[in-house]
Amino acid sequence: MRAGHQDKPTGKAGAPLAPPPLRNDCFALPAGVAWTPVDEALDMLRTRLSPVTGQETVPLQEAFGRVLSQDVVAMRSNPPQPNSAVDGYGFAGAVADGAHVLPLIEGRAAAGVPFAGSVPPGHAIRILTGAAVPQGVDTVILEEDVTCDGHQIAFRGPLKQGANTRKAGEDVVAGERALSTGRMVTSADMALMSAVGIAGVPVRKRLRVAVLSTGDELVEPGDTAAPGQIFDANRPMLLSMARAFGFETLDFGRVADDRAALQVRLDEAAKAVDVILTSGGASAGDEDHVSALLQEAGAMQEWRIAIKPGRPLALGLWHGVPVFGLPGNPVAAMVCTLVFARPAMCLLAGAEWREPQGFDVPAAFSKRKKPGRREYLRARMRDGRAEVFASEGSGRISGLSWAEGLVELGDGERHIRPGDPVRFIPYGSFGL
Ligand code: AMP
Ligand code: MG
């Protein structure tokens, strides 16, 4: 028997269900491969990551954006009983070709106010949209197709039996699965769950995501920026992205390029959250302290992925908490978050794995590309074609704003000419 949706999501002994810990090598890429293809890296995330969040039941009103921890089973059919799809007149069908006159009986059937009696054969009754179809009625004619003098109605056939009515359970049958485990609840799902009588929704606790920036050069907008300093662009971006993905965010601020300070901050974050997103300091340079610390902790996996934009990522577990060490470059940080961190975090949050939905459309641009790596271009759709941002500079943050999505160029592509099909993935497909 399937667990009822009202059941408390607890283990056998009634203790809260604790997800299994992640394996230490969950981010390990194949040894000896210089640049791992994007799809292989994604496969690895998909097969190795599992939910780290607990479960709870929340009132329906609070379920929007949450991840279902169990299948949701319809308590009631939709519609629960046969009802009229239009305002009109109901009777027993079918009706043959030609002109017909039927006597009207007293009373009417309206939504929420059913007609208690039975409609005799050869008679009609006034019926409104959403009204339960009374006994003796199986067919409804639209009021616009009828003349009525208050006592009888006249209309023209033919009319099929069942016309203008909705069958009980034609949408969802009670006891059927309405929504599946791992789904992130949409506005449409709110309507569906409500329609089938779900008051309490079994969900995962929200994934808690810490975001912190690293770099001596960073200051806060509003502060005075000395020569050589820049405003922290990644943190506001990553915090808002994680929120858009449906996660709870904790702002862990900025850390200078100082290993001890970073270590303290990572320790604090690991106590507070399920996932840590850092940006900057993820490569192998002198001031790349995220990768250095993970390395020291023996938890570092350098992700050299055949992707542009994107420098090596530093992935690892810090006190068992996954760390995504993103590149400092805002364009690379955003693309790597969309391509890798988001699906990974979705799995950790208990959500199903879903490829971002892309669309094959004609290119409005031409480009030569190195084969052997995946490229993501800042893009938008205009007049049915994908345009790309004039510059591929990875510091060009304005291009991220200009764009409404990404064009994904396959690993093997070499030369794209105007009109060639390219895959456009709207930001919305990534959950933004
Ligand atoms: P890194 O990955 O630390 O070597 O940084 C690469 C580039 O990204 C450098 O030009 C940094 O100044 C820049 N950068 C790093 N973090 C940020 C940030 N939070 N906001 C804007 N630019 C950044
Ligand atoms: Mg840096």
**Cα dihedral across residues 291, 292, 297, 302: positive or negative:** positive
State the CATH number of the domain containing residue 144: 2.170.190.11
Mean pLDDT, residues 181-203 taken together? 98
Range of the domain at 222: 35-54+206-348
- Which ligand lies nearest the alpha carbon of 280? 1
DSSP 85-143: SSSEEEES--EEEEEEEEEEEEEEEBTTB---SBPPTT-EEEE-TTPBPPBT--EEEEG
- 267 and 375 together in one domain: no
Using pLDDT thresholds of 50, 70 and 90, give the confidence band for residue 13: low
Residue ending a domain, choose from 294, 314, 348: 348
State the CATH number of the domain containing residue 411: 2.40.340.10
Predicted confidence (pLDDT) per residue in 73-90, tens digit: 999 999 999 999 999 999
Which of 230, 231, 251 to mutate for ligand 1's pocket (most ligand atoms within 8 Å of CB)?
230
**φ/ψ of residue 295, rounded to 5:** -60, -50
Question: Whose alpha carbon is nearest atom 21 of ligand 1?
Answer: 233
Task: Tell me the CA–centroid distance for residue 341 and ligand 2, in Å.
Answer: 19
- 339 and 370 together in one domain: no
- In ligand 1, the atom with minimum distance to the C-alpha of 279 is 16
Residue 9, pLDDT score: 45
Has residue 311 been placed in a domain? yes
- In ligand 1, the atom with minimum distance to the C-alpha of 257 is 3
Tokens of 53: 């969040």
Predicted confidence (pLDDT) per residue in 86-112, tens digit: 999 999 989 999 999 999 999 999 999
- 222 and 336 together in one domain: yes
Task: Tell me the CA–centroid distance for residue 215 and ligand 1, in Å.
Answer: 7
Is the distance from CB of 173 to CB of 82 less than 8 angstroms?
no
Residue ending a domain, choose from 166, 185, 216: 166
CA-wise closest residue to 341 among 325, 318, 355, 321? 325
- Which ligand lies nearest the alpha carbon of 212? 1
> Could you give the number of structural domains in the chain?
3
Tokens of 254: 């900025």
Predicted confidence (pLDDT) per residue in 330-367, tens digit: 999 999 999 999 999 999 999 999 899 999 999 999 99
- 371 and 340 together in one domain: no
- 280 and 246 together in one domain: yes
Residue 178, pLDDT score: 98
Has residue 162 been placed in a domain? yes
The enclosing H or E element of 167 equals none
- Which ligand lies nearest the alpha carbon of 234? 1
Predicted confidence (pLDDT) per residue in 213-233, tens digit: 999 999 999 999 999 999 999
Which of 231, 232, 234 to mutate for ligand 1's pocket (most ligand atoms within 8 Å of CB)?
234
State the CATH number of the domain containing residue 246: 3.40.980.10
Q: Which residues make beta-bridge pairs with 54? A: none
- In ligand 1, the atom with minimum distance to the C-alpha of 311 is 2
